[in-house]
Amino acid sequence: MNQRNIFSELKRRNVYKVAVAYAVVAWLVIQVTATIVPALHLPDGLTTGIVVVVLIGFPIALVIAWAFEMTPEGLKRTEDVLPDQHLPQWSRRKFVAFIVVVAIIATALLVYQFFKPKLVSPSSAEEPLPVKPVLQKSIAVLPFENLSDDKSAAYFADGIQDEILTKLASVADLKVISRTSTEKYKSKPEDLKTVSQQLGVAHVLEGTVQKAGEQVRVNVQLIDARADSHLWAKTYDRNISDVFAVESEIAQETADTLQAKLSPAEATTLATAPTRDSAAYDLFLKGEYESRQAQSNLLPQSFDQASAWYEQAIAIDPNFALAIARLVQNKILRHWFVEYLSDTELVDLRKTAEHALAIAPNLAEAHVALGAFYYFGHRDYDHALAEFDRAIQLQPNNAQALEYSGYVHRRQGKWASSLEELRKAVEQDPRNALLAASFGSTYTHLRMWNEGEHAARHSIGIDPHEVTAMRVLLLCLQNGSGDIDGAQRALATFPPDSKLISNSIFGSVAGVTGERAYAFMIARKFDQALKVWDPPANSEADQRRRASARVAIRFLSGDGAAADTEAGSARPLLEERLRDRPTEVLTMTELSWIYLALHRNSDAVKVSRRGAELVTPDKDALVGDYNLTGLAEIEAQTGDTADAVAILKQLLSIPAGDSVSIARLKIDPVWDPIRNDPGFQKLLVLPELVGPPP
């Protein structure tokens, strides 16, 4: 067959048109996929898979067009068709029209993807996680590798890295990335340029530690991460008692190499050791290691073990101010996230914090610890801010003090200040999953759902087990657009061992059940919500939480008999707790649902109102709205519809997106008893506050 005959045969068999049509339709398929996959939060690999299939299908389509013919009698193999047999040809006009229509659709999808960021509201166009400029005088101290034969000595390598980082953090002329972010990397990452971009730094310090008996070898190297070139490397062979001098020397040489200007106070900090007792220091480092584990897993035994190590270190060196400060912070975080301390215990803890400052008035960590006590222990925001400000003066790169300041301003209702401080904290601690999640939580209160979802997904990308991020993502989907199915898909990707519950969130029924169970309740899957609380309780606090959660789930599912039975068993536990802790709002919230199940409606309203009056939005803008929401929920169940509607109207006018939004009101089963009330229906067309109040 000559060349002319080949081209004629290709034309006769419509191979040309199949090629053109396939290419245009394939383009449309790819554009549709690129639009739908992110919108439905499907795996990114799905887009790649479809592109591969489309590419593989192209030659197959051409082969089929050549090998088979469409005849008036149907599809036949080419060899069965006579050469002079007439084959149906596509109308030129119809073919061109088909191509044009498909091309227009594909082009429209492409334009939508390109301009989509410009079509959203101004608030959602804002990037929630800031892009970090790379400064010349910036550094990240990466995790030091443990080369000791004893692999359990990893805490010692971590401690040396942390102390060097802490010393550098006191230098105002440097940008130093927080340990929370650097610990996400290997000791010697292969791609330092990527590390530089992710952390926003020009330099990294790498190191190894080898401990054998009383001898320690420390190898360090300072690297220009952008060029992946070594600036210097040194080895220190010392007795363990000289490890403090090694840390100071490394910090000093690093600062000199980066040409950082040191004030006399900063130079003193670089040369000062936290303790001179190596045994106390070793115990302290064990406490630091365990405390980091506790802040990740929020398990009471981890907090308790950390406190035990700190206390042993302090017993050896009673003037070890840093260990005392860390002990205070560890205990106050346990109080906040696990179980509340008694008033007497809080008084003792404050004395401990003040003792640390009496020993070392210029220790930044001691000011952070006292500030955390004021914040978490008594909601004393003014004193907390004063301590955090002083910590930042003493240690300009203290991301935690900046982060806590953002949290305090959030509770004071100073939302713009909170966002700015949290944004700066993210710059100093860009791989801190909890910080990113808390940043997202701030957006959910402001009903800035796109920003909140972005921050939550960023946080989960860093740490798939980050509880706050999972909770924020669910709220953005449910409260933002009422996307129940999307929330259920997200929930299915979360690790199954977390109830998504915390002591720091209370007031509303979702705070009683936890967000995992309540996501099922919003989807009307009450049996699955109950399964979240199937595992037995391991402590008295867990027993109270489990009992009240199950009662609330059963009550809202309409299973009044079962709710009544479980409530009868739980009531003595909660009433006893409230007698011991008469101002504990969490217990009041739990007890209000117990009373509802027992048909003690007036008692339910009474105890819920008491909690709402103790912590109002004026006193705490973050959780005060939860308490008001909780009161409205109880009133909706007991028939006080007018007051419930009035509260909801108020909450729509303030930053309370975590618990109340128009989309959430439409789907939340807790509002079923008043759903058809005219006043409630009017709420669904009201404007709701979005963004920081003017």
Q: What is the pLDDT of residue 123?
A: 33
Q: Any idea which of 290-299, 334-343, 411-420 has the lowest mean pLDDT?
A: 290-299
Q: Are 219 and 157 in contact (CB under 8 A)?
A: no
- Average pLDDT (194-198) is 86
Residue 502 — very low, low, confident or very high, per pLDDT cuts 50/70/90? confident
Q: What is the pLDDT of residue 158?
A: 87
For residue 573, give both structure tokens.
């536990």
Q: What is the pLDDT of residue 125?
A: 32
Q: What is the pLDDT of residue 211?
A: 86
How far, CA to CA in Å, does 106 sit from each of 16, 112, 267, 441, 498? 21, 10, 63, 37, 43
563 pLDDT higher than 90: yes
More confident residue, 95 or 481: 481
- Average pLDDT (400-417) is 95
**Could you report the per-residue pLDDT of 611-663, keeping only the tens digit for each?**
999 999 999 998 999 999 999 999 999 999 999 999 999 999 999 999 999 99
127 pLDDT higher than 50: no
Q: How far apart are CA 444 and CA 302, in angstroms?
A: 30
In one letter, which amino acid is 688?
E
Taking Cα atoms as reference points, which of 60, 62, 74, 70 lies closest to residue 90? 70
Q: How far apart are CA 632 and CA 609, in angstroms?
A: 9
190 pLDDT higher than 70: yes
Q: Which helix (H) or strand (E) holds 71?
A: strand 68-71
Indicate the length of the chain as a whole number: 694
Q: What is the pLDDT of residue 115?
A: 45
687 pLDDT higher than 80: yes
Q: Which helix (H) or strand (E) holds 268?
A: helix 264-271
CB atoms under 10 Å from CB of 300, counted, come to: 17
Residue 41 — very low, low, confident or very high, per pLDDT cuts 50/70/90? very low
pLDDT above 90 as % of the chain: 62
* DSSP SS3 for 222: strand
**Could you report the per-residue pLDDT of 94-105, keeping only the tens digit for each?**
555 555 555 566
Q: How far apart are CA 367 and CA 168, in angstroms?
A: 18
Q: What is the pLDDT of residue 140?
A: 93
- Average pLDDT (407-429) is 94
Q: Any idea which of 39-48, 299-308, 344-353, 359-368 has the lowest mean pLDDT?
A: 39-48
Q: How far apart are CA 272 and CA 266, in angstroms?
A: 10
52 pLDDT higher than 90: no
**Could you report the per-residue pLDDT of 578-589, keeping only the tens digit for each?**
999 999 999 999
| Burial class, 37, CB count within 10 angstroms (exposed 0-12 / middle 13-18 / buried 19+) | middle
Q: How far is CA 324 from the centre of its chain?
A: 29
Q: Are 79 and 67 in contact (CB under 8 A)?
A: no
For residue 192, give both structure tokens.
């330092």
What is the pTM assigned to this prediction? 0.74
- Average pLDDT (184-191) is 79
Give me the chain's average pLDDT, please.
86
Q: How far is CA 243 from the centre of its chain?
A: 36
Q: What is the pLDDT of residue 470?
A: 94
37 pLDDT higher than 80: no
Taking Cα atoms as reference points, which of 437, 401, 440, 441 lies closest to residue 421? 401
225 pLDDT higher than 80: yes
Residue 242 — very low, low, confident or very high, per pLDDT cuts 50/70/90? confident
The radius of gyration of the chain's CA atoms, rounded to the nearest angstrom, is 31
**Could you report the per-residue pLDDT of 508-547, keeping only the tens digit for each?**
999 999 999 999 999 999 999 999 999 998 888 889 999 9
Taking Cα atoms as reference points, which of 539, 166, 175, 206 lies closest to residue 326? 166
Q: What is the pLDDT of residue 554?
A: 97
Q: What is the pLDDT of residue 118?
A: 33
Residue with tokens 């996929």: 33
CB atoms under 10 Å from CB of 224, counted, come to: 15
Q: What is the pLDDT of residue 121?
A: 30
Q: Are 249 and 242 in contact (CB under 8 A)?
A: no
Q: How far apart are CA 647 and CA 626, in angstroms?
A: 11
Q: Any idea which of 113-122, 376-385, 412-421, 682-691 has the lowest mean pLDDT?
A: 113-122
How many helices and strands (H and E) does the chain possess? Answer: 34, 8
b/e burial code for range 644-656 (CB count within 10 A of at least 16 → b): bbebbbebbebbb
φ, ψ of residue 325 to 5 degrees: the values are -65, -45
222 pLDDT higher than 60: yes
Q: Are 509 and 518 in contact (CB under 8 A)?
A: yes
For residue 677, give both structure tokens.
């009330």
Taking Cα atoms as reference points, which of 472, 427, 467, 468 lies closest to residue 454? 472
Q: Which long-range contacts (CB under 8 A, 24 or more apart) does 92-95 make?
A: 95/17, 95/21
Q: Dihedral (C-alpha) 500, 502, 506, 509: value to the nearest 10 degrees? A: 30
267 pLDDT higher than 80: yes
Residue 574 — very low, low, confident or very high, per pLDDT cuts 50/70/90? very high
**Could you report the per-residue pLDDT of 276-293, keeping only the tens digit for each?**
898 999 999 999 989 988
CB atoms under 10 Å from CB of 336, counted, come to: 18
pLDDT above 70 as % of the chain: 81
Q: How far apart are CA 234 and CA 250, in angstroms?
A: 9
Residue 215 pairs in a beta bridge with 212, 239
- Average pLDDT (55-71) is 64
Residue 164 — very low, low, confident or very high, per pLDDT cuts 50/70/90? very high
* DSSP SS3 for 146: strand
244 pLDDT higher than 90: no
CB-based contacts of 644: which residues, under 8 Å, 6+ apart? Answer: 632, 633, 635, 636, 674
> Which domains are present in the chain?
3-119 (no CATH), 135-271 (3.40.50.10610), 279-431 (1.25.40.10), 433-495 (1.25.40), 499-683 (1.25.40)
Residue 38 — very low, low, confident or very high, per pLDDT cuts 50/70/90? low
CB-based contacts of 107: which residues, under 8 Å, 6+ apart? Answer: none
